[in-house]
Structure 1
Amino acid sequence: MNPVLVFRHSPTEGPGYFTTFLDRHGIPWQLVRIDAGDAVPETLNGISGLCLMGGHMSVNDDLPWIPPELNLIRQAVAAGVPVIGHCLGGQLMSKALGGSVSQNPDKEIGWGDVRITDIEAARPWLGDTPQSMPAFHWHGETFSVPPGATRILESAWCTNQAFVLNDRHIGMQCHVEMTPELIASWCDNGAAEIAASGSPGVQSPDLIQTNVEARAAQLHQLADKIYSRWIQGLSR
C-alpha cells in the first residue's frame, strides 16, 4: 500500500493522534515538513491519501508553498484520492475547492461541543452519534463551505466546523487529532495569544488542561469515527 502524505505546517502542530490511528491500522504514512523547508510534490505520485494538519499562518498569506499545496489538493480530489484537513488544513481544502477563508466573528480556543447540521450527510462519518460532541479548537479564521460540499458540523462560536465532499473528503475547522502532550505544548506556546484575546470563545490554559487525559480520550472517540470512514477510501 502506498503511503498517506501528511503535511505539517508548523513544528508544534504535528499529526498527533492521526498517525497513531494510521499506525494502529497498518497504514503507511510519510511526513512533509513544510516548516522545515520540504518541497510540496508536484504530482500525487501514487499516494493513497492526503492529510493536512494545522498551522498558525493564514491561507491568505503570500507564502510560496500555499499555491502548490492548493494545486495538490485539487489533483487529489479530481483523482478520487481521499483528502482530510484539520483546522488550517480544512481552510486549505476550502480555498482549493472554490471556497474562501476569512476572519471568524470570535476567536475560538479550547474545548467546545460541535453539533451535527446535516444528519444524513454526517451519518457515514459519525454514525448514529449524539447530536452534540466535544471537540478541540484553536482558530481565529474560518472557511466557507466550498461548492458541491455539505456542511455537517457547527459550534457555538463558528458556523462551519466541518464539510464533506463526495463521501471521501472531509475538511474540519476543529481539531480531533489532539493529544494531552500537544495540548500542553499549545497552551505553553499560545499563552500570550490567550492572554491578549478578549473573545468569549477563548478558555484559559488551566481550564483547557483540566481533566485533559479523559477529555482527550473522549475526543479520540470522535476522531476514530471520522478517521475510520476516511481510510475506507484509501487505495490498497
Structure 2
Amino acid sequence: MRIGILQCGQSPAQLKDSLGDYPDMFVRLLGGRGFDFDIWHVEGMEFPDDITAADGWLLTGSRHGAYEDHAFIPPLEDFIRRTYAGGVPMVGICFGHQIIAQALGGTVVKHSDGWAVGTQDYDFGGQQVQLNAWHQDQVVTLPQGAKVAGRNAFCENAALIYDDRAFTVQAHPEFKDEFVQGLMDTRAKGVVPLELLAQAASRMGQASGSTLLADRIEAFFKQPRALSRPDAQGAA
C-alpha cells in the first residue's frame, strides 16, 4: 500500500541531521508494515496531481497554525475536501489533525489554557495511552461526521475518527523523547512556560504508546473500503 506523506512543516534545522525531518519519523514509525512512501512538501507548495496518486494520505505536524495566512493552506484544504469526498483515507497528526478538521468545517483556535508539552495521558475508548505532544492549538468544534476517539482533560478532541475516511490525532506518536528534548532546547525558550518544560522533563521515557498508535494507523489504512462513493464525482 502506497502512502503519500503531505509534509506540512519541517523539523528545526538544528535537529534534522541527527533526528530527521517529519516524513523520516513517520517512515520509521510505520516501517515494516507493508507500506511504501512518497513525499510531497506541501508547505513548499508541492502538491500531488490527483487524490489517487497514493492509496492513503498522511498529513504531518507543522509549527504553523491552521488558521494562519499561509499560501499552502487553501490548496491543502481543497485537497483534503476532495480526498474526503473521494473516499481516499487520510491520517492527520497534530497540525494534520487540525487542518483536516478545519477544512471539513470544524474550528481550530489557539487554546486559552496554553500548551501541552511532552508525555500526556489520553483515554482512547477506555484504553489509557501515553503519547508525546507539542501543541497550543486545538480543535474546539467538530466537523459534521467526526466522532471523538481519544481525549484527556486538557484536550477534549485529542483524536477524531470520520468513519473510514479519516483518523486524526493531536499528539505525536512519531516523536521520540530526544526530539521532544530538542524542541525544548530550540523552540521553547520564551514561548512555553518553564513549569511545563520541567514537567515534560520529569516524564521523559513514559510515552509508551507509539507502537499502539502505529497499529491503529495501520489498521485504519488497511481496513476494507468501498471502491467508490456516491459523493466522489469530480473529486479527482
TM-score for the superposition, normalised by structure 2? 0.80
Q: How does 1:37-186 map to 2 (within 5 A)?
A: 37-107=44-114, 108-116=116-124, 119=125, 131-143=127-139, 144-186=141-183
**Does the aligned pair in 1 maintain the 2:150–2:160 contact within 8 Å?**
yes
**Does the aligned pair in 2 maintain the 1:81–1:234 contact within 8 Å?**
no
Question: CA 1:145/1:193 → structure 2, altered by over 3 Å: closer, same or farther?
Answer: farther
Q: Distance in 2 between matches of 1:38 and 1:234?
A: 32
- What do you get for the CA RMSD once the two structures are aligned? 2.4
Q: How many residues align?
A: 214
Question: CA 1:63/1:194 → structure 2, altered by over 3 Å: closer, same or farther?
Answer: closer
**Does the aligned pair in 1 maintain the 2:122–2:151 contact within 8 Å?**
yes
Q: What is residue 126 of structure 1 aligned with on the other side?
A: none
Instruction: Tell me the secondary structure at the aligned position of residue 15 of structure 1.
Output: helix
Q: What is residue 25 of structure 1 aligned with on the other side?
A: 33
Q: Distance in 2 between matches of 1:17 and 1:62?
A: 27
Q: What is residue 11 of structure 1 aligned with on the other side?
A: 10
**Does the aligned pair in 1 maintain the 2:146–2:162 contact within 8 Å?**
yes
**Does the aligned pair in 2 maintain the 1:22–1:28 contact within 8 Å?**
no
Question: CA 1:167/1:173 → structure 2, altered by over 3 Å: closer, same or farther?
Answer: same
Instruction: Tell me the secondary structure at the aligned position of residue 215 of structure 1.
Output: coil
CA drift of 1:77 comes to 1.3
CA drift of 1:211 comes to 6.7
Q: How does 1:181-220 map to 2 (within 5 A)?
A: 181-195=178-192, 197=193, 203-204=196-197, 207-209=199-201, 212=204, 214-216=205-207, 218-220=208-210
CA drift of 1:219 comes to 2.4
Q: Distance in 1 between matches of 2:118 and 2:24?
A: 17
**Does the aligned pair in 1 maintain the 2:77–2:100 contact within 8 Å?**
yes
**Does the aligned pair in 2 maintain the 1:73–1:93 contact within 8 Å?**
yes
Q: Deviations over 1:92-117 (max 9, x none)?
A: 1001111111122322212110113x
Q: Distance in 2 between matches of 1:223 and 1:15?
A: 16
Q: Distance in 1 between matches of 2:23 and 2:209?
A: 15
Q: Deviations over 1:188-229 (max 9, x none)?
A: 22231455x37xxx621x5534574x434x122332332222
Instruction: Tell me the secondary structure at the aligned position of residue 176 of structure 1.
Output: coil
Decide which moves more: 87-96 or 20-29. 20-29
Question: CA 1:181/1:234 → structure 2, altered by over 3 Å: closer, same or farther?
Answer: farther
Q: Distance in 1 between matches of 2:99 and 2:4?
A: 15
Mind listing any 5+ residue stretches in structure 1 that lack a counterpart? 120-129
**Does the aligned pair in 1 maintain the 2:29–2:174 contact within 8 Å?**
no
Q: Distance in 2 between matches of 1:55 and 1:180?
A: 18
Q: What is residue 226 of structure 1 aligned with on the other side?
A: 216
Instruction: Tell me the secondary structure at the aligned position of residue 221 of structure 1.
Output: helix
